[in-house]
Amino acid sequence: MGHTTSALRMTGVSRTYGAGEAAVRALDEVSLDLAAGSFTAIMGPSGSGKSTLLHCAAGLEQPDAGQVTVNGQPMPRGSETRLTRFRRERIGFVFQQYNLLPTLTALQNATLPLTLAGKRADRARAESLLTEVGLGGRMHHLPDQLSGGQRQRVAVARALITAPSVVFADEPTGALDTRSARDVLALLRSTVDRHGRTVVMVTHDPLAASYADTVVFLADGRLDPSGELRRPTPDAVAARLAHLGDRAVRVGA
Ligand code: ADP
Ligand code: MG
């Protein structure tokens, strides 16, 4: 790894849901090391553990085993309060369904993470972020006065407001039309290229994955042993996914 700064490191992270006969090992000793300033896509069949990986990495869920560090800082275990503070200071999250508060304007939604953390709502920063995501003229609109693509861009501005070490996005373009999806992907790409942010995105779309620097593949809660795909093209991603499906079917048979 040399002196590359690690923005996200997961070591032997496992997570099981349920118990006994009904137990599902959603993540099985996953280890990942993502450099600061990288854009990584996570792909895999439905139920392969992509969301669980993202939630464990982002501190939205606690793993049963293993360690997560963000910028070299270990994610606190046990205490929800410490975990929440850790998450608020270091992590941004973008959801498929935007998760904006319907009674707050774009500007208020974008500053919410600061408000929740008991910090001053940095209006100038929020305005500049909203302008950067192309919503300079929509700051005082409510979510239902915005298109899906515009709502997701508010969600990206909200995720960036605390200058987090890592921004996680779970199927951020899953609810969007092709054009809006492209805008959101270009926006995520530019936060990496222009601001050195670190982005980790789950997607099932090879075209979306091709915006990333690297794609990692999950099957049955494990990273695909064939390794990651660098400089992904949509065709190369689709080919790897097809093989992943083959193996998953064989394992399940
Ligand atoms: P993906 O995002 O790749 O579709 P998930 O991480 O959502 O996969 O789920 C991985 C596995 O864990 C699946 O078998 C799923 O049914 C199971 N799972 C996920 N969340 C829960 C939960 N809260 N309770 C029980 N099982 C769950
Ligand atoms: Mg999922």
Architecture of domain 6-252: 3-Layer(aba) Sandwich (3.40)
Neighbours of 164 (CB within 10 A): 23
The single residue listed with the structure tokens 């390794």 is 227
Question: Residue 205, Cα to own-chain centre: how many angstroms?
Answer: 15
pLDDT of res. 205: 96
Reported residue count of the chain is: 253
23 close to ligand 1 (CB < 6 Angstrom): no
Q: What is the mean pLDDT of residues 237-252?
A: 72
pLDDT tens digits, residue range 144-171? 999 999 999 999 999 999 999 999 999 9
Q: Is the CB of 17 under 6 A from ligand 1?
A: yes
- Which atom of ligand 1 is closest in space to residue 170's alpha carbon? 2
Pair 75, 60: CB distance under 8 Å? no
Please report the pLDDT score of residue 4 as a whole number: 67
Both structure tokens of 118: 């008991």
Q: Give yes or no for residue 46 CB within 6 A of ligand 1.
A: yes
Ligand 1 within 6 A of CB of 48: yes
| C-alpha 61 to ligand 2 mean position (Å) | 14
Contacts 24+ apart (CB under 8 A), 67-71: 67/9, 67/10, 67/11, 67/12, 67/13, 68/8, 68/9, 68/10, 68/11, 68/13, 69/6, 69/8, 69/9, 70/7, 70/8, 70/165, 70/166, 71/5, 71/6, 71/7, 71/36, 71/165
Q: Which residue matches tokens 């790894």?
A: 1
**DSSP per residue, 181-198:** HHHHHHHHHHHHHHH---
Q: Which of 24, 51, 53, 224 to mutate to test the pocket of ligand 1 (most atoms within 8 A of CB)?
A: 24
Give the pLDDT mean for 53-67. Answer: 96
- Counting DSSP H helices and E strands in the chain, the numbers are 8, 11
**Averaged confidence pLDDT in the chain:** 93
**72: CA distance to ligand 1 center in Å?**
28
Ligand 2 midpoint to CA 170 (Å): 7
Distance CA 153, CA 134 (A): 8
* Ligand 1: nearest atom to the Cα of 49: 6
Digit-coded pLDDT (tens) for 91-135: 999 999 999 999 999 999 999 999 888 888 899 999 999 999 999
CA of 47 to the centre of ligand 1 (A): 6
Does the Cβ of 37 fall within 6 Å of ligand 1?
no
Q: Which atom of ligand 1 is nearest to the CA of 221?
A: 10
Give nearest CA residue, ligand 1 atom 15.
47
Is residue 220 within 8 A of residue 251, CB to CB? The reply is yes
State how far the Cα of 234 lies from the Cα of 82, in Å rounded to an integer.
40
pLDDT at 253: 41
Summarised one tens digit per residue, pLDDT across range 191-204 is 999 999 999 999 99
Helix or strand or coil: residue 2? coil
